[in-house]
């Protein structure tokens, strides 16, 4: 994960302003599952700019975000420092399979849109080590793109297909090791670290305009390849996507309907 995290260097500000925050309902579900409305410790692995970490600041006694990328972590710390209520929220340099946290210390461990970047066998073993008995692990991801305009999504699909084709033709995918999101639950079950596992769905609504949509697209694999010049904007018709975003969303925010897939494991 350390090497993979470098793709986010220089992306923290754009990531933070464009990516969605988790639905508040998720916190209600996870705290109910552990029968503890105010957890003693929540650990967020691959915490990024803190979008999935800071939401716990009013719901847990202590919150720790683990993030290997310095730019992302700095952005998270900057936001926490500006918030007087975040005194029990901290961010640490580290990776998911080596957190340096004590055994059985956490009530809840989360991976928000990040578990697919983590080597699963060692990461799940580390999660099981730091979770207390009865604690819950939640790996959750949102659908992309959000549901808000089919015409824009159709253009995005065409641009994305061209991008994927070039990634395959140029053998670029192997430079970014990742594990399929569709197999998260299967791997959790096969690990034998959890006595109960299941998957469920939540939904969330946020507001976004054309600029946010383009920023969010660029925080996927696109920006990394553009910076390396292994794929160019011209080759995939990215300007067409910008024009479509302005045409179909515009400068004023509209509702974005975001679906979340949540996989949980109870230790």
CATH number at residue 35: 3.40.50.150
The tokens for 65 are 């975000």
Using the predicted structure, report yes or no on whether residue 123 has a pLDDT greater than 50: yes
Residues 88 and 188 reside in one and the same domain: yes
**Partners of 205 in the β-ladder:** 257
Report the side by side order of strands in the sheet with 196-208: 89-92, 63-66, 42-45, 106-112, 131-142, 254-266, 196-208
pLDDT digits (tens, 9 = 90+) for 186-240: 999 999 999 999 999 999 999 999 999 999 999 988 888 898 899 999 999 999 9
Determine the 3-state secondary structure of 11 from DSSP.
coil
Selection from 100, 96, 144 nearest residue 120 by Cα: 96
CA dist 64 and 198 (Å) reads 25
Q: How many domains does the chain have?
A: 2
CA dist 185 and 198 (Å) reads 7
Structural domain including 195 reads 2-142+179-205+256-266
Residues 79 and 166 reside in one and the same domain: no
pLDDT digits (tens, 9 = 90+) for 85-111: 788 999 999 999 999 999 999 999 999
Residues 10 and 101 reside in one and the same domain: yes
The tokens for 64 are 């720790």
Residues 14 and 99 reside in one and the same domain: yes
Residues 30 and 121 reside in one and the same domain: yes
Residues 14 and 116 reside in one and the same domain: yes
pLDDT of residue 8: 75
* Site of tokens 């009530």: 107
Residues 29 and 59 reside in one and the same domain: yes
pLDDT digits (tens, 9 = 90+) for 132-178: 999 999 999 999 999 999 999 999 999 999 999 999 999 886 666 88
Using the predicted structure, report yes or no on whether residue 3 has a pLDDT greater than 70: no
Selection from 176, 140, 164 nearest residue 231 by Cα: 164
Residues 161 and 137 reside in one and the same domain: no
pLDDT of residue 9: 82
The DSSP secondary-structure symbol of 35 reads: T
Residues 52 and 160 reside in one and the same domain: no
Residues 10 and 124 reside in one and the same domain: yes
Residues 99 and 186 reside in one and the same domain: yes
Q: Which phi and psi (to 5°) does residue 192 adopt?
A: 65, 20
Grade residue 11 by pLDDT with cuts at 50, 70 and 90: confident
Residues 49 and 74 reside in one and the same domain: yes
Residues 30 and 63 sit within 8 Å (Cβ to Cβ): no
CA dist 214 and 16 (Å) reads 13
């Amino acid at each position: 994960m350390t090497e993979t995290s470098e793709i986010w260097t220089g992306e923290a500000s754009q990531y933070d302003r464009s990516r969605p925050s988790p639905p508040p309902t998720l916190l209600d579900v996870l705290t109910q599952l552990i029968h503890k409305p105010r957890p003693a410790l929540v650990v967020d692995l691959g915490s990024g700019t803190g979008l999935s970490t800071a939401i716990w600041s009013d719901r847990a006694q202590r919150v720790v975000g683990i993030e290997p990328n310095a730019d992302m972590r700095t952005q998270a710390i900057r936001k926490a420092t500006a918030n007087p209520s975040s005194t029990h929220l901290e961010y640490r340099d580290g990776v998911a399979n080596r957190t340096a946290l004590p055994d059985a210390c956490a009530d809840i461990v989360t991976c928000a849109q990040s578990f697919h970047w983590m080597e699963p066998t060692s990461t799940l073993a580390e999660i099981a080590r730091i979770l207390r008995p009865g604690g819950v692990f939640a790996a959750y991801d949102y659908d992309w793109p959000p549901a808000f305009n089919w015409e824009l999504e159709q253009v995005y699909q065409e641009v994305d297909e061209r991008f994927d084709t070039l990634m395959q033709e140029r053998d670029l995918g192997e430079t970014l090791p990742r594990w399929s999101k569709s197999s998260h639950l299967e791997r959790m079950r096969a690990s034998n670290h959890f006595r109960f596992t299941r998957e469920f769905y939540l939904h969330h609504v946020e507001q976004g305009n054309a600029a946010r949509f383009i920023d969010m697209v660029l925080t996927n694999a696109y920006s990394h390849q553009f910076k390396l010049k292994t794929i160019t904007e011209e080759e995939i018709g990215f300007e067409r996507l910008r024009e479509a975003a302005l045409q179909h969303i515009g400068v004023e925010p509209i509702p974005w309907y975001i679906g979340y897939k949540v996989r949980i494991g109870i230790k």
